[in-house]
Structure 1
């Protein structure tokens, strides 16, 4: 903390900026973390006698000394025995204090008072791809939230709104939140983080805890607007990247012809309405809340929907009819199946897609999304009768959830446990442009270092289907070589690829013998970071493994995670993770 920090004259290289904490992600998780890091300290208010909070929690809170901040309390002890929709105890504790009795339908004032303390301020930066709000800016504006407005406010704000908000309203609130809380100086938007690596050994011992020589991590990336890279050295990293970056997809022969995001569907609906044949165009979806949003969006646009699903979605059935009449209507339509008589809608339960065949050639002048809005034949299999049926549609949309993209994390997971298959090399000519780029590849790689490898791994990795890992290689420019052996091993925690093929210098007059085996990318999936380190990170089935009392990642000292990465998939539970990690940081700084 500031009173323990001594003036430091040590500096890093000109292209490296030192921060005590770097937060990756500027959605609600990154925003509330920044608010707490900025010196805003939570204190407990007096608890009204008539407020029906958990009696054991009331007893434990009453034992806190008057005027003590929550930073000095045993948060895990206070949270003992609490139950709710989060598996993280401190998230439940903070939710009970910020929204007491919320699950009982009681609108009560917050039990937390926030006070600014300059001595508690920690120097940090929040990095995000777009404006503050993260994925909320990517959703169709009129899509409504599952949570009521009262559950979406971030500290220190409170509201008693019971209405569901539109995605555009939440996105706008996030913009205003950063300004209202005076956090602008901490936010750096429109940037992409490409790697988070261990900092190289320093040239000398740090003179104080705040000395740049004490940096444990190096965070690299590039700025969209400025068109240049950046590097931060820091002691601690907070991963608040959310879980919506990579949509789950079906096998490539299907996903290649499909749309996977609501925003892409909204754009497709607008393009459809611009054509006179739009009324004859048909849609296809699968189950889930997002699919229900898509069904409503398409029908509102006058487009016919074929709704393909295995069974009616349980997630829709659990929503109360009074608060969610829109989703309940879609659920009823799904349950009625083929016997239902609804305008522009037909339910196809117990069906699965087998094949998609385009009937029109793609236009070279169109974008990839526009080319996906083409007439195509879809073959479906009825799982009950084992018969196939064919439909002619214009758009195939697959909405089966999403997962985080952790390509920027470097892992010490033993990559030798991942099976790398042999791959075949094909023959292909190369042109002058390809030769120029390839001749300068080693120079570019030396300039950007590990960032290039991380980006390459991210964009060239083979599709992961429902958490199953497969391997595929892109092998251009080989002289009809039968096979080449590709081995992947771990060196200093990084994936190193060895390919036993002879390399011939690039030439327009010759064919090169070059086997480029691309193993499954171990970074995008977050292998090594989940509760089961051998499986991809998933916010529901395999969240990031953390110490529940601090939200610090296991085996990665100084690296924290919160929000959907730790299974806190509702905004209301995010402040608890921020409180846990900032409390831990303050205690470590005090002991140094």
Structure 2
């Protein structure tokens, strides 16, 4: 197959695959599309059935070339996508049990199998990680954020040695994670495929039509009435990038340059962090109301809060809410925590995380349940926000009761999740979810895909991966790359 990334015709760029988004899932997909292949190294897995299946693989064949449905059958874990469970079981055996076992895979670059592709991202490679405050520490340093063939701990150790870092902590900062993803793209020679600061505004089908001339009128007419059934199509991806020359910078002008890619396959890997969810209550747009962790980080960094400030109100019971609570209490800032569910709700994310690997999150969960006390923290389980008032007072109400509590706060931090900006899709992709006609939501309404190929069940040639299909951890998002490349190669052979 040709090694070129894309060809140009009248300003339109043609390629085989367009990836929308440039976070960890997209990076891992580019890695596999570039010809990198995983192979079983012969080390037994604790799952004896999986081991027997792996031992039956013919010599010289990679995992990409296997029947993924067969290999992943019966696997269980923290995602509902079996191929993600398969690759995770091979890369991080028994990780959910707290084990740090060696990988069962070795990787090598295979010549002449690369699939031409481009990766379009709004930022530098790394996606939403690049928009976070680099000085903040990650809550846990572990292998769950790493990409294939690049152990994060080893990379971090080399970085600390090269920078003569005095900090002996084994914790990584967000800046470390940003640099890790950037370095991966450079070291694995993926950079030519990455188009940074490219914003996608439209993804739509373009049909390959033939026209004919009417014998009497001489007018050009379409060859048939039912275009969608009788003609093949490609995907057209349009958008813009902002460019600035020397003169433009001096004048304060930025040039908006439009682009257009056409490809038989499009992969949506743009995450779910674009648009914060809102409560829809009165006062939610007041200045002291925050809807994103990055904005809350800025408030703390600018010293707008201190231990003498009024409490902040944190709303929500997920990881972002826990992050905000940890950030506040570490600075001595008092927290009032309101959440709608019971503190013992089995669906809480804290129950799905190993305590050994995420002790901070389990500490917050212990606070929520009242099993452990903290003088800076006060929980209000089974409560909802009724109104946010201008004088920095918030009214919260116990569910199933008329009891309303008034809380004086300095800031209200609403951490109830976010969703992807899919405005570039027809009808914002509402026809592509598990629940038709409803907005795509990673938790309640992910993309409806074939769980082995990650291809849309409604639109052939359109794929989704990562949080859009419920794979919210990097370790699981990588599995989408395996499923997608496996399916694309099968299509080529048909």
TM-score computed with the length of structure 2 as normaliser: 0.81
Residue in 2 aligned with 1:216?
A: 234
Correspondence 1:197 to 2:226? no
Correspondence 1:308 to 2:338? yes
The 8 Å contact of residues 140 and 357 in structure 2, kept in 1 or not, is answered as no
| SS of structure 2 residue aligned to 1:279 | coil
> How many aligned positions are there?
442
Give, in whole Å, the separation in 1 of the partners of 2:99 and 2:475.
15
What are structure 2's unaligned runs of at least 5 residues?
157-169, 212-230, 244-254
Q: String of CA shifts for 1:76-109, please: whole Å, max 9, x gaps.
A: 1121222222212221221122223333444333
Give the 5 Å matches for 1:512-523. Answer: 522-523=427-428
Correspondence 1:408 to 2:444? no
Coordinate RMSD, CA, aligned: 3.0
Residue in 1 aligned with 2:328?
A: 298
Residue in 1 aligned with 2:221?
A: none
Residue in 1 aligned with 2:276?
A: 247
Give, in whole Å, the separation in 1 of the partners of 2:474 and 2:131.
17
CA-CA distance at 1:150 after TM superposition: 1.7
| SS of structure 1 residue aligned to 2:263 | strand
Give the 5 Å matches for 1:162-173. Answer: 165-173=172-180
Q: 2:22 aligns with which of 18, 22, 26?
A: 26
The 8 Å contact of residues 140 and 262 in structure 1, kept in 2 or not, is answered as no
Give the 5 Å matches for 1:205-354. Answer: 216-225=234-243, 226-251=255-280, 253-257=282-286, 258-273=289-304, 279-286=308-315, 287-310=317-340, 311-312=342-343, 314-316=348-350, 319-336=353-370, 342-354=374-386
Which structure carries more relative contact order (alpha carbon 8 Å, separation 6+)?
2
Structure 1 residues 528, 185: CA separation in 2 closer, same or farther (over 3 Å shift)?
Answer: same
Correspondence 1:527 to 2:443? no
CA-CA distance at 1:397 after TM superposition: 1.1
Q: 1:568 aligns with which of 467, 471, 485?
A: 471
Structure 1 residues 164, 54: CA separation in 2 closer, same or farther (over 3 Å shift)?
Answer: farther
Give, in whole Å, the separation in 1 of the partners of 2:304 and 2:152.
39
Correspondence 1:545 to 2:448? yes
Q: String of CA shifts for 1:415-472, please: whole Å, max 9, x gaps.
A: xxxxxxxxxxxxxxxxxxxxxxxxxxxxxxxxxxxxxxxxxxxxxxxxxxxxxxxxxx
Q: String of CA shifts for 1:367-388, please: whole Å, max 9, x gaps.
A: xxxxxxxxx2222223476222
The 8 Å contact of residues 272 and 278 in structure 1, kept in 2 or not, is answered as no
| SS of structure 2 residue aligned to 1:119 | coil
Q: 2:9 aligns with which of 3, 7, 12?
A: 12
CA-CA distance at 1:32 after TM superposition: 0.4
The 8 Å contact of residues 568 and 574 in structure 1, kept in 2 or not, is answered as yes
Residue in 1 aligned with 2:410?
A: 394
Deviates more, 1:535-544 or 1:135-144: 135-144
Give, in whole Å, the separation in 2 of the partners of 1:103 and 1:391.
39
Residue in 2 aligned with 1:154?
A: 147
Give, in whole Å, the separation in 2 of the partners of 1:581 and 1:290.
29
Structure 1 residues 166, 59: CA separation in 2 closer, same or farther (over 3 Å shift)?
Answer: same
Correspondence 1:131 to 2:129? no
Give, in whole Å, the separation in 2 of the partners of 1:171 and 1:25.
15
What are structure 1's unaligned runs of at least 5 residues?
205-212, 360-375, 411-521
The 8 Å contact of residues 107 and 160 in structure 1, kept in 2 or not, is answered as no
CA-CA distance at 1:52 after TM superposition: 4.0
Residue in 2 aligned with 1:512?
A: none
Structure 1 residues 74, 389: CA separation in 2 closer, same or farther (over 3 Å shift)?
Answer: closer
CA-CA distance at 1:143 after TM superposition: 5.1
Structure 1 residues 59, 349: CA separation in 2 closer, same or farther (over 3 Å shift)?
Answer: closer
Residue in 2 aligned with 1:515?
A: none
Correspondence 1:54 to 2:51? no
Structure 1 residues 214, 230: CA separation in 2 closer, same or farther (over 3 Å shift)?
Answer: farther
Larger radius of gyration: 1
Residue in 1 aligned with 2:217?
A: none
The 8 Å contact of residues 150 and 184 in structure 2, kept in 1 or not, is answered as no
Residue in 2 aligned with 1:119?
A: 112
Structure 1 residues 302, 81: CA separation in 2 closer, same or farther (over 3 Å shift)?
Answer: closer
CA-CA distance at 1:145 after TM superposition: 4.8
| SS of structure 2 residue aligned to 1:227 | strand
Give, in whole Å, the separation in 2 of the partners of 1:312 and 1:128.
38
Residue in 1 aligned with 2:61?
A: 68
Structure 1 residues 2, 44: CA separation in 2 closer, same or farther (over 3 Å shift)?
Answer: farther
CA-CA distance at 1:248 after TM superposition: 1.6
Residue in 2 aligned with 1:449?
A: none
Structure 1 residues 587, 283: CA separation in 2 closer, same or farther (over 3 Å shift)?
Answer: same
| SS of structure 2 residue aligned to 1:118 | coil
Give, in whole Å, the separation in 2 of the partners of 1:319 and 1:84.
11
TM-score computed with the length of structure 1 as normaliser: 0.69
Residue in 2 aligned with 1:585?
A: 488
Q: 2:398 aligns with which of 382, 389, 411?
A: 382
Structure 1 residues 383, 582: CA separation in 2 closer, same or farther (over 3 Å shift)?
Answer: closer
